[in-house]
Amino acid sequence: MRFLLNIGNSNTQVARELACGGLELTAILPTSQIERLGCVDFLEQETENWQAVAACVVPSVQKKLQNRYPGKILFLSAASYPDIDFSFYDIQTLGADRIANAAAARALKIGAVLVVDCGTCITTEAIDGNGVFRGGAILPGRTMLRRSLAAFTAQLPEIPLTEECPLPLGKTTVQAIAAGVDLGVIGAVREIIAKTKQEPALAHCRVIVIGGDAAYFVANISELEPGTPHFTLQGIRLAKG
């Protein structure tokens, strides 16, 4: 039995690999819980005959899991995908989730792809039609921007996420924060897409959006295509090694 772990800053997805080549999502856990316990509850219930592949962006969690399950979990890296050329990027600083996204995009076999992953952070991963990873961008997600405003000011509150696109002229502080953050990130993502498409190898790339906040961006940026379910986990499943 092989499990797939997508260990993010906020949450961790646990999936079971199926014999047909697909996967079944079995649990979503707070990553803070895994760090506190030093283990994955779901895996504790399994027999000894299991292995796992993980994309982890929290080094302290990775270290604890390596200590808890020595030899049981493969933590993926760029070397896990020999069919992708990562030579354009400093792979020592490349997050495992972004590597998995590039692999999942490559597996679609639709030519050049730009993945927009909307979670705690918004990241983009660009891979051209020849399987060359061209890089991407990282910026704060909507929740992170809200928390930053509340954390670094004396009077601005942290406001909840909504799916509704705000009006540009807020009549209250809450409305003004929503306008600045939610319209601002739409503008940022649009600009990143436009600049990415100025690169010759990516001029006609498809733009796929994934992540927990994907629905907001799909509703407000017309050229975005929703990714397949469990997109990052599908990339993790393709890891070699």
Question: Is the predicted pLDDT of residue 34 greater than 90, yes or no?
Answer: yes
Instruction: Output the pTM of the full model.
Output: 0.94
* Length of the chain, in residues: 241
* pLDDT tens per residue, range 6-22: 999 999 999 999 988 78
Residue 36, pLDDT score: 95
What is the model's pLDDT at position 22?
Answer: 87
For the annotated catalytic residues, the residue numbers are: 97
Distance CA 11, CA 5 (A): 10
- What is the fold, at CATH topology level, of the domain defined by 1-75? Nucleotidyltransferase; domain 5 (3.30.420)
Task: Return the pLDDT at 44.
Answer: 87
Q: Is the pLDDT of residue 27 over 80?
A: yes
- Over range 200-226, report the average pLDDT: 97
Confirm whether 1-75 and 82-241 share one CATH topology.
Answer: yes
CA–CA separation, 238 and 20 (whole Å)? 14
Q: Is the pLDDT of residue 238 over 90?
A: yes
State mean pLDDT over 180-192: 98
Mind listing the pLDDT tens digit for each residue in 46-67? 877 899 999 999 999 999 999 9
Can you give the pLDDT at residue 139? 98
Report the distance separating Cα 87 and Cα 35, nearest Å: 32
CATH class of 82-241: alpha beta
Confidence at residue 225, expressed as pLDDT on a 0 to 100 scale: 97
pLDDT at 83: 96
In percent, the amount of the chain with pLDDT more than 70 equals 100
Q: Which residue has the tokens 């590039």?
A: 102
What is the C-alpha to C-alpha distance for residues 52 and 190, in angstroms, rounded to an integer? 36
Calpha distance 106→100 (Å, rounded) = 10
Q: By three-state DSSP, how is residue 130 classified?
A: coil
Question: Residue 61: its pLDDT value, please?
Answer: 97
Please count the CA atoms within 13 angstroms of the CA of 85 that sit on its side-chain side: 9
> What's the mean pLDDT when you consider all of the chain?
96
> Residue 71 — left, alpha, or beta (φ > 0 → left; ψ -120 to 50 → alpha)?
left
Q: What is the pLDDT of residues 95-143, one digit of tens each?
A: 999 999 999 999 999 999 999 999 999 999 999 999 999 999 999 999 9
Put the strands of the sheet holding 73-75 in their side by side order: 23-30, 11-17, 2-7, 51-56, 73-75
**How does pLDDT run across 74-95, given as a tens digit for each residue?**
999 999 999 999 999 999 999 9
Domain-by-domain residue ranges, the chain? Answer: 1-75, 82-241
Instruction: Report the C-alpha gap between 157 and 153 in whole angstroms.
Output: 9
